[in-house]
Every structure is written in structure tokens, then in C-alpha cells.
Amino acid sequence: MIPSILNNASIPDHFSVDLDNPALVNLDHLACYQVEGEDAGAFLQGQFSNDINQVTSTNGQISSYNTPKGRMLAIFYICRRDDIYYLLTSKDISEDVMKRLQMYVMRSKVTITPVPDMLLLGVCNDSQGKLLQSLKITATQDHYQTSANDISICMNIPGISTRYLIIGNQSLSEQLQNIDANNVNVFNASYWQWLDIMAGLPSVTSKVQEAFVPQMANMELIDGVSFSKGCYPGQEIVARLHYLGNANRRMYRVEVEQDEPVNIGDDIYTQGSDQAIGKIMSVINEHDKMYSGLAVLRIEAAKNNQLAIGSASGNSVRIAPLPYDVPTDLKEKEK
């Protein structure tokens, strides 16, 4: 049952972290699955780009699931309570992706189960920790660090302000009934997606599946790739890009002002050229005609910063800063 307070979730009047009250966000754009069984850890270790062995009861992670050619099928947030792993990914692709993952279980002692009754929430701008305390949740200090109790798991997510992703059961829903809606902003998923864009955290949805290898979406810059773990689908391609340094695209934050909607999957061009040099990966309509998004662009084109959307003569695309440094040369330094 969805708590009544979330029925009033809305798009913010303006997208900002400078709000009078903490924000509660309905993350209904995500789907949650649990993976358990004697071989669960080993199975996931052989499928994802990050080191699943580092996922504990106090530490989660972000990771990608790739094709054998290294192209991302999905991006997951992964956390753990006891011997159960919880995987969260974009709802629009979740069913097909998890069916694909299930195909590789074979004789392994692993069970993959959707948990649609789990409540997926974001808590943002809770600088005093009062909202978390009211939900009986312990805040964590480091990115991807987790805390858990009988009713929820909480993961610290990178952002331009502190925020938390929460997986909760029915008891958490009951806790939410006691929240004073006058002291909390209740937003829909668009606010969380805007925070992802501002933080430079990519998401894979249906329109950009198999479009990018992890480095093109800066996954290793946000601790989403391990270069010291064993094999997984696409590992050879991902490792080659890292050690040989021939990746020629990176993800940038972009801004577009225009009357027509900007959509995921829209192509970006160099002004005056008919060849697309990039693609919108995620986007939010901030206000009126202003759109903010993440786009994967050819590095050389991004350096020139003469970009247009939709066609060579389309509206201007402006590159905006990210909270981390994006390599601008074509040779990545070995880490």
C-alpha cells in the first residue's frame, strides 16, 4: 500500500537544494529485486562491472550490467541485508533485464525475485537528520554506505547535497503515516532524477540501452567499475578502454533552452555538421523552456563546445559543470 503522504507527490515549483524543508521523494521510476541463495554472491560477481564482494551490510555500490560487447544493458544500485542482495534499476527495463540475468543462473543455487511491495523512497536536504530520525533510519556519512534495520535499508547516494535511497517494507509505510506533511516537501521522481543529473550519475533506460560502454557514462569516475575483479560480460572491452586509453566519448552535463521537449535518445550535433556526435542519456525539464540533462559526447566536440540538438542547425547545447573532473584527453590514466 502506498502511504497517503505520497499521493500528493508533485513536480517541484523550482528545482533546487535550497529548500525550507527536507524532501521526501517517491522513487516509483525504479524497480527492486532481491537475489538470494548459496551462490548469490558468486553469481552476481560474474555478471556486474563492480566488485560484488565489496557489498556488505554496511556498504552498497553502483554497477553496470553489460552485453558481451561491453554495452550497458542496465545500471544497478546494489545493497545487502544478511544474505539477501537488493538490486534497483530503471523500472522501464527491469523485467527484460532480470529475465536475461535469470537465464544465466542455470544450476547455481540462486533465486531472483521481484519485490514490488517494497517502498522505494528518497530523502533529500535533511541536513538536521530529523526526517530520517522520524522514520527510525540511521544516516550514513560516505557515498554508497548503508544502514539497515527491520523495516528499511538506507544508502547514501552521491549528490550536490546529502541524500539517501531507502528500501522499506510495510512497517516503513506505517511510519510515513505519522509524518507531518506541512514540514516536508513531497516530490515525484523528477526531483531525484534532477539530482542525479546535477551529480553526474547516469541511468540506463530503454532508449539508450546498449548505446554506451561504462566509461562513456563516467561509471568508473563514480566508483561503478572494478578493474581488479574477475570476468563478467563485456569485461575485456571495458578493461581495454581503461588500459589502452582509446575511449573517445564521455558524459557531460548539458543545458538546452527550446520550445520543443528534449527527450532521452535525442542526437546532438556539432553546429554546421550533419554527423551526430552524441546523445542525450537523461533529461529533466527544469522550468518553462529550460532542460537539464546528461549527454554522452565525443570528447573533441565537447572541447569545441559548438553543439546543437536534433540537427546541425538545432538549438544550442551548453556544457555545464559536473561535481567531478571528466578526462578531456583520449588516454585515460591507469588507476
What nine digits make up the cell of 124? 533529500
Quick: pLDDT tens for 208-243: 999 999 999 999 999 999 999 999 999 999 999 988
Compute and round to an integer the Cα radius of gyration of the chain. 20
Average pLDDT over residues 31-44: 98
Strands across the sheet containing 61-66: 61-66, 72-81, 84-90, 30-36, 111-114
Quick: pLDDT tens for 53-112: 999 999 999 999 999 999 999 999 999 999 999 999 999 999 999 999 999 999 999 999
Q: What is the pTM of this model?
A: 0.95
Neighbours of 147 (CB within 10 A): 19
As a whole-number percent, the residues of the chain with pLDDT over 90 amount to: 84
User: What's residue 246's pLDDT?
Assistant: 67
Quick: pLDDT tens for 13-34: 889 999 889 999 999 999 999 9
